[in-house]
Amino acid sequence: MGMASEDLLVTLQILPGFFSNCLFLALYDSVVLVKRVVSLLSCSRSAGSGEWRRMLTSAGLRSIWNSFLLDAYKQVKLGCVAPNSKLVKVPDVHRWSSSFSNMTNMPPGARIRIGDECRLLDFESSDRPLVVNFGSAT
């Protein structure tokens, strides 16, 4: 019963934002439709030509709903304990910058070898912030 009540609470928290997004998409679609009708009535073929792709579709609504669910059930919460995810040590470090490959900026307890298991918070230090760059391949 506890899980169902939690899901109901999350759903009730999500609904206002979801409906406001739906309202925005409906307004956007109506504005575009009015512009197309005006351009067709004024016989301006250049403005009225081309395909009009609606924004308020079932796929769009599912996408919005899923994004709200992902945000509601995310693991990281402001002011709470940070997750300590497992990391993978990449064997070919020579292709990265020299500051990363020689690991001079890491605290002594964080020096790892290929194959060693490590976690994200192994690299934290009290004298500097932990900056994580995920790159473009995530």
Q: What is the pLDDT of residue 101?
A: 44
Q: Calculate the alpha carbon distances from 107 to 24, 93, 120, 134 in Å.
A: 49, 18, 13, 20
* Tens digit of each residue's pLDDT (9 = 90 or more) over 6-61: 888 888 888 999 999 999 999 999 998 898 888 888 876 555 556 778 888 899 89
* Tens digit of each residue's pLDDT (9 = 90 or more) over 51-72: 778 888 899 899 999 999 888 8
Q: At a CB cut-off of 8 Å and minimum separation 6, what does 84 contact?
A: 119, 120, 121
**Per the confidence metrics, is the pTM higher than 0.95?**
no
